[in-house]
A and B are shown apart, each in its own frame.
Chain A
């Protein structure tokens, strides 16, 4: 009886040890094989040097083609709104919302030079493409957007990144898109807001802008509040109810000016002036669950939405 038990135990442990060694061996094999392949570098979060808010960032005279730590810390000078799945591209930084398949936020740093017309950048070579650095479960595809009634709407706008073709192309990753109403919004009112932000580089040395989606509640007939939004395609990409932009301009006298906008994701009449959509930045922070320009004490701002503080 006990002899049988011992034999069983021996057989069992031999199997277990054998399996362990076999496993570790194959794993080593695989590692060796994979190391002979080229390892793809996904944009990650670089380490940051300290950035002093007292110094103006000089306009870059040459375009970085990779997400260098120095470029990223320039863009993120005033703090990260959040740290969920942050990806840095050569000219903008993005936090990806895997559940909704669109960004939480994107951050950009614009100068007059980076938004200037540039014949070396050809929009027609840019293509909406799935972002393969996103796990396939959470990736949106062109198919999701096709015939959905929504545009592939840029969060980081293509027109903000004209220093180099690559900068522009990187804004066409579907991870930088959210479903936007096309005519009357993405190609009109929202586009006007993007142009307005670009125009700010005429008044400010540096313009920092954070853009992202909102899912705002509304009251239904029973008096209760609900958050309701459509999802499109087989990957159920969320259609946000609103979008925001929070902008800080650094003037030559080092003074800081903030503007904040929220626009509903629907057809907006062409004659609606932009300042109708200005809101207090705090309301966006509360709705988004993020803090924008956290490194700036709001008392340091000279103006918010054009009003003196």
Chain B
């Protein structure tokens, strides 16, 4: 139990709730019953402060009782069977009844369900058939049930009988019939539909994939990258043997990354330094170098950061000045640093030096504070 007592917090949180207390009688006038009712609910029931649940319940019961009285008065007072009830007061009763039912579904449907039957009987006795048809039946103001209230569920009996008076039926009778019919169909379906399931998608590919996964898991695979399509071959190797969903032991995954990186280095070296590389060759090499550098930034840049110096020196020795200027310098293919990789932080060294060859400069400005 924490040192801070829940009780103390409750008191703090309920400080705004002092105005809420148990009242025993609420009254609602006949002139604007809906407004008065809503205001009472708002101030005495629907409060955000933490108030004892009993108080809320009592208040709702009190307000509900007042609402029932007013509805009864509006409908039946002064009507001695000769239609002394004005359409205006029927209108008021109808509005309030609808609002009250809405709240009853949430706070206390039981009381409503008892009383609405009495109201119905009185309405029919007094032959207020318009009110019966247009308000109670049409707006479904009969007993609360699973369609309008979360205190009920599909196990409960729908209040069909309530509406079967004065030549009416429940507005939802038809949909219940359809539902019952569906249920029967379903029941007969269920008996003959045994698990004849389609295999999940990708089933036919799974054999091939699991071979790759096996290789990824063991690290046993050949990393081959040729001069023709170095970038897509590199990507393919990474996708199949490194970027799998299988959980691979870390050292095996690292070894696989190293193996593929080594293949990338070798093919770049081949393309650039075995014979004179065409423009197309240089583009290919640069594309792969860029991708390989990006991956290094994620998997571990140390090997790249060593090797790229060797590559640079060889490029300059072989006087591939275009490649140096247009690719390595312009595309920032030098050592990884905090701009490229989360292995570094801002106070790590910036590899400005690397680019200061053959009249070039680093393509980025050093951070302001260095």
Contact = CB atoms under 8 A, between A and B. Distances in A.
Interface of A: 123-124, 126-130, 132, 135-137, 139, 141-143, 145-147, 151-153, 159, 182-183, 186-188, 191-192, 194-195, 234, 270-271, 273, 275, 305-307
Q: Which of A127, A143, A188, A306 has the most CB of B within 10 A?
A: A143
Contact of B110 (A124, A141, A143): A124
Contact of A143 (B10, B47, B147, B155): B47
Contacts of B56: 142
Given A127-B57, A270-B179, A273-B190, A187 B50 contact: no
A152 to B, nearest CB: 5
B106 to A, nearest CB: 5
Contacts of A151: 150
Given A137-B9, A191-B154, A192-B154, A273 B186 contact: yes
A139 B50 contact: yes
A306 B195 contact: yes
23 contacts: A123-B151, A124-B110, A126-B151, A127-B57, A135-B6, A136-B9, A139-B50, A142-B56, A142-B106, A143-B48, A145-B106, A147-B106, A151-B150, A153-B150, A159-B155, A187-B146, A187-B150, A191-B153, A191-B155, A194-B153, A195-B155, A270-B182, A273-B189
Nearest to A125: B110
Interface string B99-143: 000000011001000000000000000000000000000000000
Interface residues of B, number: 33
A209 B53 CA distance: 31
A146 to B, nearest CB: 5
B79 interface: no
B106 A146 contact: yes
Contacts, number: 72
Give the 6 A-B residue pairs with the shortest CB-CB distance, closest first: A151-B150, A187-B146, A191-B154, A234-B48, A191-B153, A124-B110
A195 B154 contact: yes
Contacts of A273: 186, 189-190, 193
B152 interface: yes
A4 B63 CA distance: 71
A26 to B, nearest CB: 15
B150 A136 contact: no
Given A135-B9, A270-B179, A273-B186, 13 more contacts: A123-B151, A132-B6, A141-B50, A146-B46, A151-B150, A187-B152, A187-B153, A188-B154, A191-B153, A270-B182, A271-B182, A271-B185, A273-B189
B6 A271 contact: no
Give the most central of A130, A136, A275: most B CB within 10 Å. A136
B360 to A, nearest CB: 37
Interface string B174-187: 00000100100110
Contacts of A126: 151
Contacts of B150: 151-153, 182, 186-187
A256 to B, nearest CB: 18
Q: Which of B6, B57, B189 has the most CB of A within 10 A?
A: B6
A141 B196 CA distance: 46
Contacts of A145: 106
B13 A136 contact: yes
Interface in B154-170: 154-155
Contacts of A124: 110
Nearest to A124: B110
A13 B53 CA distance: 49
Contacts of B194: 306
Interface in B30-59: 46-48, 50, 53, 56-57
Contact of A129 (B53, B182, B193, B195): B53
B154 A143 contact: no
Nearest to B145: A187
A188 B147 CA distance: 9
Contacts of B107: 142
Contacts of A270: 179, 182
A159 B194 CA distance: 28
A224 B138 CA distance: 47
A126 B110 CA distance: 10
Interface in B61-76: none
A147 B106 CA distance: 9
A186 B46 CA distance: 24
Nearest to B57: A127
Contacts of A137: 9
Nearest to A188: B154
A138 to B, nearest CB: 10
Contacts of B189: 273
Given A142-B106, A146-B46, A183-B147, A136 B6 contact: yes
Contacts of B190: 273
Contacts of B47: 143
A145 B13 CA distance: 19
A187 B147 CA distance: 7
Nearest to B110: A124
A124, A182, A306 — most chain B CB neighbours (10 Å): A124
Contacts of B13: 136
Interface string B1-37: 0100010011001000000000000000000000000
Contacts of A127: 57
A204 B10 CA distance: 45
B287 to A, nearest CB: 23
Contacts of B50: 130, 136, 139, 141
A271 B186 contact: yes
B10 A307 contact: no
Nearest to B13: A136
A286 B190 CA distance: 30
Contacts of A195: 154-155
A124 B152 CA distance: 9
B155 A307 contact: no
